[in-house]
Amino acid sequence: MLIYIPTDCQMLIPLTAYNHQIANKYSQQQLNPQKAKQVYLNLLAVSAVDFYLQCLGISTDIEASYSHNPALFSLQNVADLQISKLGHLECRPMLANEQVLKIPQEVWQNRIGYMAVQFNESLTEATILGFILQPSQEEIGLDRLQSLDYFLEYLEKLSLAAAQNSEEVRANAKLVKLNQWIEKVFEVGWENLERVMKHPQEYAIVRKKPIEADRPNDDITRGKLIDLGIQLADRPVVLIVSLLSTHECEREIRLVVRSAGNYPYLPEKLQLTVLDAEGNEVLQAQAREADNWIQLEFTGEIGEYFSVSLALGEISMVEEFII
């Protein structure tokens, strides 16, 4: 499929039958015809911008967007697209004869910017007209739009800032020294499972093999309560780290994330990620609907650094380790 680039640098995007199928699927959930039309057009605009960004190699997560959450788009006029690790980009639709971009006040917060997406009369094509960083009124003249070149430069700056922030978080994180756990020396916050889990005996369910028989389980297994703020609210989780073997030059490590509160299931789409010393993703697990726990296992050498990230939506935390 081709993307056409007119001389004014606006982007003409084809709208496929699949795009219309998805828009129709969600719009039919609305009882009010006006609301159904709003949802339909919003989703077409999101699809157009998603296609544009994917062609540029910019990672998106359309399923994590508010525009694809029925509980949100049924109540609000949302047309956002989640750009991975950067935030939500609002994609506002415009009909063929409209001369102003309309941005409702309910989407003036929690956005990295706003795209103007204008359809042709038959809704077979969408033109991405331009970009605005932050509206000050609900109707924006098209002459106030920034170019797509400006948008791409802006995204690059956001990416650099996000990377720098990630490095600062990693630098400020307290290093957990796993080799000291063998000597029963544990960092503050890493507790026996009885202290951080309501039913610590449930941890045995997820074990695939026993920890060495000559050591008590809680000597080399510790858990830490994780707070991801309002995203987790009344559903706290605990990160459990176990040393499964103590060979001379390497350690076998298991990571488990379980619910720590009364709610039996993990938040859906909660991600557990292992990164190497350079910050490259090595392993990842993601909680599905009604998952009680997620788990990763790996082997590392003595003195090797790694980090563990827990993330839900845009909120994340990082723990740094040395084996």
Residues 6+ apart with CB under 8 A from 75: none
180 in the same domain as 158:
no
- Residue 176: per-residue pLDDT: 92
In the predicted structure, residue 85 carries a pLDDT above the cut 90: no
208 in the same domain as 129:
no
- Residue 212: per-residue pLDDT: 43
Residue 29 lies in a domain: yes
- Residue 213: per-residue pLDDT: 40
**β-pair partners for 281:** 275
152 in the same domain as 197:
no
153 in the same domain as 269:
no
128 in the same domain as 87:
yes
- What is the overall mean pLDDT for the chain? 85
The pLDDT-based confidence of 22 (bands split at 50, 70, 90) is: very high
Residue 5 lies in a domain: no
In the predicted structure, residue 216 carries a pLDDT above the cut 70: no
Q: Which of 109, 139, 166 is the last residue of a domain?
A: 166
- Residue 193: per-residue pLDDT: 85
Q: What is the pLDDT of residues 308-318, one digit of tens each?
A: 999 887 788 89
Q: What is the pLDDT of residues 90-144, one digit of tens each?
A: 999 999 999 999 999 999 998 999 999 999 999 999 999 999 999 999 999 999 9
The pLDDT-based confidence of 70 (bands split at 50, 70, 90) is: very high
Residue 37 in contact with residue 27, Cβ under 8 Å? yes
Q: Residue 82 sits in which domain range?
A: 11-166
Q: Is 12 helix (H, G, I), strand (E, B) or coil?
A: strand
Residue 42 lies in a domain: yes
Q: Which of 166, 200, 227 is the last residue of a domain?
A: 166
- Cα separation, 266 vs 286, in Å, equals 10
160 in the same domain as 19:
yes
93 in the same domain as 237:
no
Q: Which of 147, 166, 185 is the last residue of a domain?
A: 166
- Residue 232: per-residue pLDDT: 53
Residue 20 in contact with residue 123, Cβ under 8 Å? yes
139 in the same domain as 41:
yes
Q: What is the pLDDT of residues 146-178, one digit of tens each?
A: 999 999 999 999 988 877 766 665 565 578 999
Residue 1 lies in a domain: no
In the predicted structure, residue 248 carries a pLDDT above the cut 50: yes
Residue 41 lies in a domain: yes
Q: Read off the pTM.
A: 0.55
Residue 6 lies in a domain: no
The arrangement of strands across the sheet holding 293-301 comes to: 221-226, 237-246, 250-259, 293-301
296 in the same domain as 281:
yes
181 in the same domain as 45:
no
The pLDDT-based confidence of 89 (bands split at 50, 70, 90) is: very high
286 in the same domain as 193:
yes
Residue 3 lies in a domain: no
Residue 262 in contact with residue 198, Cβ under 8 Å? yes
Count structural domains, the chain. 2
In the predicted structure, residue 26 carries a pLDDT above the cut 50: yes
67 in the same domain as 101:
yes
Look at 216 and 145; give whichever has higher pLDDT: 145
Q: What is the pLDDT of residues 285-306, one digit of tens each?
A: 999 988 889 999 999 998 899 9
Q: What is the pLDDT of residues 251-284, one digit of tens each?
A: 899 999 998 767 778 888 899 999 998 888 899 9
Residue 279 lies in a domain: yes
The arrangement of strands across the sheet holding 113-119 comes to: 11-14, 125-132, 113-119, 87-94, 80-83
- Residue 95: per-residue pLDDT: 97
